[in-house]
Every structure is written in C-alpha cells, then in structure tokens.
Amino acid sequence: MNGKEREKVTAIELLAAAKEARKNAYAPYSGFFVGAALLAADGEVYGGCNVESVSFTPTCCAERTALCKAVSEGKREFSAIAVVGGGKDGKTGFCPPCGVCRQMLSEFCGRDFRVILSSGDGEGEEVKVFTLGELLPEAFGTEKPFGSEKKK
C-alpha cells in the first residue's frame, strides 16, 4: 500500500471514529451533534464530542474535547483530525472546526496537519481534506504561525 492509499484508509478510519464519537454528543440546546477523531503522531486515535451547557459559554466543541483528552494523556504531536456534525435527524454535512478549535489545534499542530471533513454518512458521501494552514493562515500569538513547529 502506497502513502496515498494509506492516507485514504486513515481518512476513512478517522471519519468512522468521529461518527462513533458523535453518538456520545450532548447537545440538548442546539440539537447539533458533533464528533471528532484526533490522530496522534504515534497512531493512537482520541475521540471527542461536543458537550453543551444551558448557558452556552462553557460548551466544549468535539475537536477541543479530543485535543484535551490527548494532551492530558501526554500526547503533543498530531497528524490529522476528522470532524462530522449534524442535526438530531442523523443527517450530517461538512462541519469544519470553529475558530477557537483551529487556534487550539495550531498550538500543537503544524501547517500541514490534515483536517478531514465528510458531507454525510454512507452512499454518496463526499470527503474534503484541508490543511490547518489553509483553514487558519495566521495563528494568533506565535512568532511564526503554528507554534508546534518550534516546540518538541
């Protein structure tokens, strides 16, 4: 299997893990359920889902849940994240990370970090892959964008 095929399999595996994580989302107020699967550099996958609060401000996105879970277990290097989201009816659509999640990811991930998105579930599903550099061209608070490139 060549590198491109491995990337495709990894994307499919990560999307499946994100869909599984989405099942645990707690979104009684927005009705928008999100799952994420974060791939650490060592191959371990960390799932996360959104967890809402009635006051909304303390709500945590799926991407940050997965990132904090991984970081709290000592991980500091990551290569990709898959994100899926949608309504109560189970239908999903492209759900890119919000600005706060992009900024948090930039703390640990380089410009080439892959963000994998899916348009749906099953037949006819379209997959888009972006780099974090494309989604967040200028990360806040670093000498050069994406501080993880200088942290090891």
96-99 contacts, C-beta under 8 A, 24 or more apart: 96/130, 96/135, 97/61, 97/63, 97/135, 98/61, 98/63, 99/136
- Residue 22 tokens read as 């989405």
Instruction: Answer for the pair 29, 52: CB distance below 8 angstroms, yes or no.
Output: yes
63 is catalytic: yes
Q: Which of 63, 125, 134, 143 is catalytic?
A: 63
Element (H, E) at 37: strand 33-40
Name 46's bridge partners.
38
Q: What is the Cα–Cα distance from 66 to 23, expressed in whole angstroms?
A: 14
Name 36's bridge partners.
48, 83
Name 81's bridge partners.
38, 115
Catalytic machinery residues: 63
